[in-house]
Amino acid sequence: MKSRLRTFAAALVGLIYLSAGPRCSNAQISKGIRAHLVHSFMIGNTLLPPGEYTFRMLDEPDLSAMTATSEHYKTGVDFLVKEAKDDHVPSHSQLVFRKYGDTEFLSKIFEAGSLIGVELRETSRQEERFVKQGKQAQEHTEEQK
């Protein structure tokens, strides 16, 4: 009887881990990040103008998508993300961009106080062209308060 109870308990714990584990391990951005950007930037194939944006996870079971919405919802784009790890815990939320000439591409997002963030899953066609042309990206981070 005790053996069956232990087996049942182990199976129950495993089931709980499997159902809750992916959500917990993928919970990179827990709240919206507000950002003031003074330059235009690309997310995927969408060019966004300078302005105030809120970046937040979409309410999906696997937490694999985010949205960037401008102030007053005039501009917005949804995009796919995957987990990214930073080499330090940022004291402020951070947006990481790759810049080719005058064109900036959003690359990663980290929330203040978390080593785990997100990076975009897809590269834009324009960025792929820059890479094929042999252009080197300059990566830079912008802290948000």
- In the chain, domain spans: 28-144
pTM for the whole structure: 0.77
Longest alpha-carbon distance in the chain: 70
The answer to whether the CB of 33 falls within 8 A of the CB of 111 is yes
In the prediction, which pLDDT does 1 show?
54
Paired tokens of 15: 């089931």
Paired tokens of 13: 């714990």
The answer to whether the CB of 92 falls within 8 A of the CB of 112 is yes
Paired tokens of 123: 């590269």
In the prediction, which pLDDT does 28 show?
65
In the prediction, which pLDDT does 25 show?
42
Rounded distance between C-alpha atoms, residue 92 and residue 81, angstroms: 20
Task: Tell me if residue 35 falls in helix, strand or coil.
Answer: strand
- Among 137, 103, 106, 138, smallest CA distance to 123 is for 106
The answer to whether the CB of 28 falls within 8 A of the CB of 81 is yes
In the prediction, which pLDDT does 13 show?
36
- What residues in the chain have per-residue pLDDT under 70? 1-28, 73
Strands (E), the chain: 33-37, 41-43, 46-48, 51-57, 65-70, 76-85, 93-100, 103-110, 116-120, 138-144
